[in-house]
Amino acid sequence: MKKELIKTEIDVNNNKIGILRIGDTDYISLTDLAKYSNPENPANVIIHWMSNKGTFDYIGLWEQLNNEVGYSSFTLSPKRWIDRTDAIGIYSKGGKYSMEHLLILI
C-alpha cells in the first residue's frame, strides 16, 4: 500500500519551511532551512552540515536507536546516507532543476 503524502509549510522568521507527512511520519525540509543561510546554494550548507563529525555522530546514533542500523564510516551525502543505512530519519528526493530536496524527521 502506498503511503499518503501531505505537504504543508510553516513560517519561520518570514521564511516558508516545508513539512511533508509520509504516512504518520513528519519531515521538515532541511533544504528550506538551509536557504535561510545560503539562498543561492542551500545544498552546500547541507553537505557541510552532514560532513560535520557531530552531525554524523548524531545521525548515526539516531538511526541506531530508532532504526537498528549499524554505525559505518564513509563520506556523507544525503543520498549515500539513506542508501547505506536504510535511514528512516531522513527523506530525500530530486527537486526542481535536479536540486536534491532533503527532509528530516521531526
User: Does position 98 have pLDDT exceeding 60, yes or no?
Assistant: no
Q: What's the pLDDT score for residue 105?
A: 67
Q: What's the pLDDT score for residue 102?
A: 65
User: Does position 58 have pLDDT exceeding 80, yes or no?
Assistant: yes
More confident residue, 101 or 21: 21
- Closest listed residue to residue 92, CA positions, set 41, 44, 46: 46
Sign of torsion over alpha carbons 102, 103, 105, 106: positive
Rounded-to-integer distance, Cα 98 and Cα 58, Å: 28
State pLDDT tens for residues 24-41.
888 999 999 999 899 999
The cell for 80 is 549515500
State pLDDT tens for residues 62-78.
877 777 554 454 456 77
- The contacts of residue 97 (CB under 8 Å, 6+ apart) are none
Average pLDDT over residues 65-94: 69
The pTM for the full model equals 0.59
**Burial classification of residue 29, based on how many CB atoms lie within 10 Å of its CB (0-12 exposed, 13-18 middle, 19 or more buried):** buried
Rounded-to-integer distance, Cα 47 and Cα 55, Å: 11
